[in-house]
């Protein structure tokens, strides 16, 4: 087996060398002598006799035709929402979505204190918002849009639209830090600084209290629901990430103390196929864990210059992780190689931020968004080229 692996590795290395040779030959063929020379010296192949050749061109055209026919199987999320960012297959930015700066405010609802948590339901019909005043509001998207712009929505023009806030839930005692909708049932899961994780059934209009509470020992900072909806991963101010089985309320952790974070966990997320979950922490590390065994399979140490990492998010195909740190830089990491592929810079203050903020993809994963502290606006970048886009003032 080892022999075979070695052979596979060697052939891969040889292929890469061949590819670079082809690149250099193509450059010389097209007349870019200097660049070809520089590239050759970069990769340490200056002694190679460089002959101009058009072979790369031919190989690429054949390869592109073939690639077109290869079907890429889509996972369930990609099937319903469309493929997201995939740098292995795309080289040019193909943005069909509007950039974030073009979005307009449709509706404003207010809480009595700062509002820090928000979530969309999986079918996109509902929005939940949670606040420091310990209350949660659930809003209906169609009604919000109808209130703001009656012409835009496809409801009967004379139909009377109700109030967008369809539920208000008061069951926590302290700030709501995180909200997530259950993937299938009409259940909302909330985590709060009062160390509780509560499940609310909002299908009945009279719902006010949770029907289940999981009590932890430390304030909950983040949680993520497993795609089946039966498990949640909870991150708290303690360094240990817990996996709860929602139905039995039993809690499990990874058994190896050295694999855990060393400071409070700021964010935890499951990938869409549930094979992995990722976590970010104040200790500056980002860890990727195996969804089945709970063990840490990868650590990106000092991901943001040792400063706390504020948020982590998977791309839809599960190949990339987008992280935001207190150094005001967003980074896109590729999981197979463990490298940072793209860094999106230029947000906010240079150096340390005051407050932590979350970075997210937009709905087509063409853009990356991050709130800018200095100007109180939303920064966005093109996800593939890291080109900065306009600011959306908030």
Asked if residue 274 binds another protein (CB under 8 A), the reply is yes
Please identify, using beta-carbon distances, which residue of 234 and 342 lies nearer to another protein: 234
* Binding track over 117-156 against another protein, x by CB under 8 A: ------x-x--------------x-------------x-x
Distance CA(246)–CA(263), nearest Å, equals 25
Min dist CB 328 to another protein, Å, is 31
Among 1, 34, 257, 337, binds another protein (CB under 8 A): 257
* Binding track over 22-61 against another protein, x by CB under 8 A: ----------------------------------------
Among 18, 97, 98, 253, binds another protein (CB under 8 A): 253
Provide the CB-side half-sphere exposure for 78 (13 A, CA).
16
Count of positions on this chain that bind another protein (CB under 8 A): 47
Distances in Å between the Cα of 266 and the Cα atoms of 29, 252, 312, 373 are 52, 19, 9, 18
- Residue the block writes with tokens 């948590």: 117
Distance CA(144)–CA(380), nearest Å, equals 25
| Structure token pair of residue 84 | 């997201």
Distance CA(352)–CA(175), nearest Å, equals 25
Q: Say whether 59 sits in a helix, a strand or coil.
A: helix
Please identify, using beta-carbon distances, which residue of 135 and 236 lies nearer to another protein: 236
What is the phi/psi pair of residue 233, to 5°?
A: -105, 130
86 closest CA partner among 286, 300, 290, 334: 334
- Which residues have CB under 8 Å from 298's CB, separation 6+? 287, 288, 335, 338
Asked if residue 80 binds another protein (CB under 8 A), the reply is yes
Stretch of 53-61, 82-90, 168-176, 244-252 contacting another protein, by CB under 8 A: 244-252
Among 91, 248, 336, 337, binds another protein (CB under 8 A): 248
Note the residues at the interface with another protein (CB under 8 A). Answer: 75-76, 79-80, 123, 125, 140, 154, 156, 158-160, 162, 203, 205, 216-218, 226-228, 230-231, 236, 238-240, 242-243, 245, 248, 250-255, 257, 260, 273-275, 291-295
């Amino acid at each position: 087996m080892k022999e075979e692996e070695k052979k596979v590795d060697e052939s891969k290395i040889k292929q890469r060398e061949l590819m670079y040779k082809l690149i250099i030959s193509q450059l010389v063929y097209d007349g870019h002598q200097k660049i070809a020379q520089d590239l050759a010296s970069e990769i340490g192949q200056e002694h190679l006799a460089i002959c101009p050749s058009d072979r790369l061109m031919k190989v690429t055209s054949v390869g592109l035709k073939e690639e077109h026919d290869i079907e890429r199987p889509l996972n369930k999320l990609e099937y319903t929402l469309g493929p997201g960012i995939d740098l292995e297959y795309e080289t040019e930015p193909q943005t069909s979505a509007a950039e974030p700066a073009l979005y307009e405010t449709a509706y404003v609802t207010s809480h009595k204190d700062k509002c820090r948590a928000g979530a969309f339901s999986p079918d996109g019909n509902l929005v939940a918002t949670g606040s420091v005043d310990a209350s949660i509001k659930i809003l209906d998207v169609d009604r919000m849009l109808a209130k703001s712009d009656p012409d835009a929505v496809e409801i009967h023009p004379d139909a009377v639209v109700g109030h967008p806030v369809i539920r208000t839930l008061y069951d926590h005692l302290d700030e709501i830090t995180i909200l997530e909708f259950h993937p299938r049932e009409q259940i909302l899961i909330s985590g709060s600084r009062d160390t509780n994780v509560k499940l609310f059934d909002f299908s009945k209009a009279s719902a006010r209290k949770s029907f289940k509470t999981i009590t932890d020992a430390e304030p909950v900072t983040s949680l993520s629901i497993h795609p089946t909806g039966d498990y949640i991963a909870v991150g708290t101010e303690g360094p240990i990430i817990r996996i709860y089985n929602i139905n039995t309320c039993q809690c499990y952790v990874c058994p190896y103390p050295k694999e855990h974070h060393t400071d409070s966990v700021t964010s935890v997320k499951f990938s869409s196929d549930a094979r992995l979950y990722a976590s970010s922490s104040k200790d500056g590390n980002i860890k990727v864990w195996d969804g089945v065994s709970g063990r840490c399979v990868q650590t990106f140490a000092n991901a943001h210059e040792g400063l706390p990492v504020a948020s982590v998010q998977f791309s839809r195909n599960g190949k990339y992780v987008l992280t935001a740190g207190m150094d005001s830089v967003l980074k896109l990491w590729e999981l197979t190689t463990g490298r940072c592929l793209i860094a999106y810079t230029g947000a906010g203050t240079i150096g340390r931020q005051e407050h932590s903020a979350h970075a997210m993809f937009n709905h087509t994963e063409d853009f990356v968004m991050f709130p800018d502290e200095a100007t109180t606006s939303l920064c966005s970048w093109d996800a593939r080229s890291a080109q900065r886009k306009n600011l959306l003032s908030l």
